[in-house]
Amino acid sequence: MADVLSVRCPDCGSQMKVDAETGMVLDHKAPRGKTVDLDRSRELLQKQQEERDQRFQQSVRAEKNRDDLLSKKFDQSLRRVRDNPDEPRPLRDVDLD
């Protein structure tokens, strides 16, 4: 009978028995998986949910502020044009062609 080698996979940690002559895998045992701590997983999910909610609320506030900022800029530009109707329009790249 041929020699049988017991080899551990460096990547996944599984245990294999290999025939030394032919190189064929005779037996394979999958590594034990990590145990899942459900309480810890639940806490992590809750924390992620809270972070998502906070980011969403922050984006809503930023969007509200953005509307106010754009309307202020528009009002300033409109006032500037109304106050100085003789001021020439700024040149655009299209105007130079």
pLDDT digits (tens, 9 = 90+) for 22-42: 888 888 888 877 777 889 999
What percentage of the chain has pLDDT greater than the value 90?
A: 27
Burial grade of 52 (CB within 10 A; 0-12, 13-18, 19 or more): exposed
Alpha helix (H) residue ranges in 1-97:
38-83
Query: In the predicted model, is pLDDT for residue 55 greater than 80?
Result: yes
Predicted pLDDT of residue 75:
94
65 confidence band (pLDDT: 50, 70, 90): confident
Burial grade of 86 (CB within 10 A; 0-12, 13-18, 19 or more): exposed
Q: Measured between alpha carbons, how far is 17 from 25 in angstroms, rounded to an integer? A: 6
Q: How far is CA 5 from the centre of its chain?
A: 44
Predicted pLDDT of residue 43:
94
pTM assigned to the model: 0.41
